[in-house]
Chains A and B, each alone.
Chain A
Amino acid sequence: MFSGKLRSALVIGGQGIRARKLRTFLSMVSLFLGVLAIVAVQAGSEIAERAMLTDVELQAGKDGTMMGYIPGEKGAPAIVESTLKGRADAVAMISSQAVIGEPGVRPINEGGMPFEYAGQRGDYNGSMTFCDASGVCHEQKAPEKKPDGQAIEVNMVALTGDIRRFKPFRPVSGSWLDFATAPSLAPRIVLNEEAAKGLDRYRVPGEMMIEGASHHVSPQIIGVVQDGSSTPRVYLRLDELRTWMPAAAETGSSDIGRFRGGSGGTQLEVYLQPGSADLQQLLKAKLVGAGLSQDQLHFNTVNSKERMESELRILRLIFLGMAFLVLLIGVAGILNVGLATVGERVEEFALRRAVGMSRMLLAGIVLAETLLTGLLTAALAIGAGAAGLQIALAMFGSRFPSLQGTAFPWEAGVAGVIAGLVAGVLGGLIPAVRAARIPIATVMRA
C-alpha cells in the first residue's frame, strides 16, 4: 500500500515537473545559489581544515601519534636506537647541526637560520652564558671567529626508520630514503625545501662537516621534500651516519648542562604508533636506568585536529549562517512558485481527489515535486562545486602545495543533499497543506 502511494506521488510529481519546466527551472535558479553557498562553505571549511591539518601534521605528526622528547645525554640516543631497532611501530629522529660547503669557514646562515635572515645575526664577540634546567649558569668564552665562506649550516636529522608514517612529508623531487637497503658509505641525504634553496642559491661545495665525525663526508643528495620547516634541514639514515661517526649518537654527552636546541645540541624525538604503550614503558625504563630522570622524559599524544576544529568551528558557523540565509531566499522562491502553482492547479487537485486520491497523498505529491526539485538542484550545485574545485585547483593549485591532490569532500556533498531536501520541505510544506485543503466539490461548481 505504502509503495503504491509513494510510486503514485513520484509518478505524478514527475509529471508535474515536466509539465511546468520553466517554473521548475526558475525555482531551481534561486535555490541553486543557496545550495551552492552551503556546498561551497562546507567544502571550503573541510578543505581549509585538511590543508591546515596537513601542514600541522608535517611538523607535529599525525593525529593519535605518541610523541616523546628525550634529552640527548647519558647515552640516550644509543638506547633509543637499540630499543627501536627492527620495529615498524616507532621511529626516532636524532637532530644535530651540520655544515655543508667549505670547511673552516663561517656559514652564510650561521646557527642554521632560514636564508631569508642570513647575514642579519651580527658579529657578537663577547662571552656567552648557558644555563641548565635547574638554573645553574656557566659562562663560556665565545668561539674563535671564523672567516666568511661558501657554506651553509643545516639541521641534520638522523632517522632510525621511515618517519613518513608519522609525518607525511610531501615529495618535491627525487626520492625518499630507502631503509630496506644496506647502508651506503656515502650517506644519502634528503633536503627540505629551505636547504635545497640554500644549496641552489649559494652553490656551496658538496662536503658535509658533522661535529664529532672523523672525516668530512661527501653525501649523495637523493631528493627534496616539503617538511613544513622554515629552517634548512637534511634527513639521513642513522646507520649511514654511524659509518662516519660511531659515537655520533652520543654527541650530546659533551653538552650536558646546556639548554637543548642551541647550536651543537643533540635532540631526540621518538614517534610511536597509537597503542604502543608497552614500547613507551620499555623505553622509559631503559632511559631511567641509564640515569635520566622521569621529569626529563616527555611523552604526549598528537591531537591537532581537535584543537584546530574548535578554532575553525566558529568561523564555519558564521559562514554557514550566511549560506543558510542565501538558502532561505531560495526557499522563498520555491514557496512563491509552489503557492502560485497550487492556485493554478485547484481543479486538477480537486479532480484527483474526486477519482480517489486522499488528502495526504495529494499533499505528498506537492511535497514530492518540491523535494525532487530540491534534490535535482542539489545534484547540480554539488556537480558545480566539484567542477569549480577542479578548475580552481588546476588554475591555482601550484601556488598552494597543501591543496594539491585535494578531492571534493564528501561532507560537502552530504551538506548539499541535506540543504536540497530541507529547502524542498520548507518550500513545499505550505503549498502541500493548501493543496490538501482544496474541497472536491470545486469540480462540481466549476
Chain B
Amino acid sequence: MTQPQVTVAAPLLQLNGITKVLKGQEEPRTILSGVDLTVHSGQSVAILGRSGSGKSTLLSLIGLFDRADGGQYSLHGNDITRLPERRAAALRSAEFGFVFQRFFLLKHLTAAQNVAMALVNGQGWSARRKRRQQVMEALEQVGIAHLAKSRPSRLSGGEQQRVAIARALVRQPRIILADEPTGALDTETGNLVIEVLLNTTKRGCGLVLVTHDHDHARKMGRVLELRDGRFN
C-alpha cells in the first residue's frame, strides 16, 4: 500500500545567513550579520528594533532594492541572491507591494493615477479600461474608491496612506513590505491602516511589517526583534 505523497509548498521567501556591510569612506560597518527569515503565504511578520538596527536595510534587501553581501535569498524556492537589475525590476513589479512611512504620492496625479503608476512601469501593458478596473478594485479594497479623482493635497494622511496601499496591491503581489506605514499617522488612523494590511494576508499575501509600535506588532502572526544585526 503506497502512502499518499505529501507536498510542502515552498515558502514565499527565505533568507539564510544574510549579511550586509556598509562600505563608505569610514570603516566598513556591519548592518546585518547572519539574518534568517522565512515567510509563508498568508503569514504576517512584524520586525521591531531600534533606529539604526538594520530594519529598513533588511526590508530593502527583501524588496530587491539592494543586494546582500553574504547569505542566500530564495523566493518561491528559487535562489535570487544574485539577480541582474532587469530581472530584479520585473520581480519587484510582479511579486512585491511596497508601503512606506512617507506615502510618496505624486502631487500632480489623482489618487487613481497614483495607483495606476504601478501598472505603467514598462512591465507589460494593459488597455486603459482594464487598468481603470484594476485601479478601482484596489481602491475599493482599501475603502476609498470614492476618492479616485482626488489629488493627494485634498486627502488626509490616512487616506493618502490607503492610496499608497492600493498602489501596492494593484498588481496583486504575493508579498507586502511595509516600512513603518503608521509612523506619520495618529493612533486611530494607524490602526485602520494596519487592519487594511492584515486583510491582505487573508487572501494569501505575505506581510512583512517594520514598525516601532509594539501594539501594531502584536497584531501580526510573528514578531521578531532585530538587534546588533540579527534576530533575537
Contacts A347-B104, A446-B102 known; A355 to B117 CB distance under 8 Å? yes
A411-445: contact bitstring with B at CB < 8 Å (1 yes, 0 no)?
A: 00000000000000000000000000001110111
Q: Answer whether residue A361 sits at the interface, using C-beta atoms and an 8 A cutoff.
A: yes
Which residues of B have CB within 8 Å of A361?
121-122
For A359, list chain B residues within 8 Å (CB).
85, 89
User: How long is the Cα–Cα vector from A7 to B123 in the complex, in angstroms?
Assistant: 11
| Residues of B bordering A, CB below 8 Å | 56-57, 59-60, 63, 65-66, 85-86, 89-90, 92-94, 98, 100, 102, 104, 106, 108-109, 113, 117-118, 120-125, 167, 171, 179
Find A354's partner among B63, B90, B109, B122 (CB 8 Å cutoff): B63
Taken together as a complex, chains A and B put the C-alpha atoms of A12 and B108 apart, in Å, by 12
Q: Is the CB of B92 within 8 A of A441?
A: no
Give a binary string over A1-30; 1 marks a CB under 8 Å from any B CB, 0 the rest.
101110111011001001100000000000
- Which of A11, A19, A353, A444 is within 8 Å of B179, CB to CB? A444
Q: Identify which of B63, B85, B120, B171 contacts A358 (C-beta below 8 A).
A: B85
If A4-B125, A348-B106, A446-B102 touch, whether A356 touches B118 (CB-CB below 8 Å) is: yes
Query: Is A88's CB within 8 Å of the partner chain B?
Result: no
> For residue B85, which residues in chain A have a CB less than 8 angstroms away from its CB?
358-359
A352: Cβ under 8 A from any B Cβ: yes
Query: Please, which residues of chain A bring their CB within 8 A of the CB of B171?
Result: 356
Cβ–Cβ < 8 Å partners of B92 in chain A? 353-356
Interface residues, chain A, with chain B CB atoms under 8 Å away: 1, 3-5, 7-9, 11-12, 15, 18-19, 347-348, 351-361, 439-441, 443-446
CB pair B66–A15 under 8 Å, yes or no, is no
Q: A4 to B108, Cβ gap below 8 A?
A: no
A355 x B125 contact (CB < 8 A): no
Among A7, A19, A444, the one with the most B-chain Cβ atoms within 10 Å of its Cβ is: A444
**Are the CB atoms of B63 and A357 closer together than 8 Å?**
no
> Which interface residue of B66, B109, B120, B167 has the most chain A CB atoms within 10 A?
B120
Contact A444 B65 (CB under 8 A): yes
- Tell me which of B86, B104, B109, B121 has the highest count of chain A C-beta atoms within 10 A of its own C-beta: B121
Residues from chain B with Cβ under 8 Å of A11 in the complex: 120
Chain A residues with CB under 8 A of B122: 4-5, 8-9, 356-358, 361
Residues of chain B with a CB closer than 8 A to A1's CB: 124
With both chains docked as a complex, state the minimum distance between the C-beta of A165 and any C-beta of chain B, in angstroms: 57
Give A20's nearest chain B residue, CB to CB.
B108
Provide the bound-state CA to CA distance between A41 and B106, in Å: 43
Q: Can you give 18 A-B contacts (C-beta < 8 A)? A: A4-B125, A8-B122, A15-B113, A19-B108, A348-B104, A351-B117, A352-B117, A352-B121, A353-B89, A355-B92, A355-B93, A356-B89, A356-B94, A357-B89, A440-B60, A443-B100, A444-B60, A446-B102
CB contact between A3 and one of B63, B118, B125 (< 8 Å): that residue:
B125
Closest 6 CB pairs of A and B: A356-B93, A4-B125, A19-B108, A361-B122, A440-B65, A358-B89
Q: How far is the CA of A360 from the CA of B89 in the complex (A)?
A: 11
List 13 additional A-B contacts (Cβ < 8 Å) besides A8-B122, A354-B65, A443-B104: A5-B122, A15-B108, A348-B106, A351-B117, A355-B93, A357-B89, A357-B121, A357-B123, A359-B89, A441-B60, A441-B66, A444-B65, A446-B102
Shortest Cβ gap from A355 to chain B (Å): 4
Q: How far is the CB of B49 from chain A (nearest CB, A)?
A: 14
B108 contact set on A, CB distance < 8 A: 15, 18-19
Rounded to whole Å, the gap between the CB of B65 and the closest CB of chain A is 4
Question: Would you call B120 and A8 a contact (CB within 8 A)?
Answer: yes
- Given A444-B56, A444-B60, CB of A356 within 8 Å of CB of B121: yes
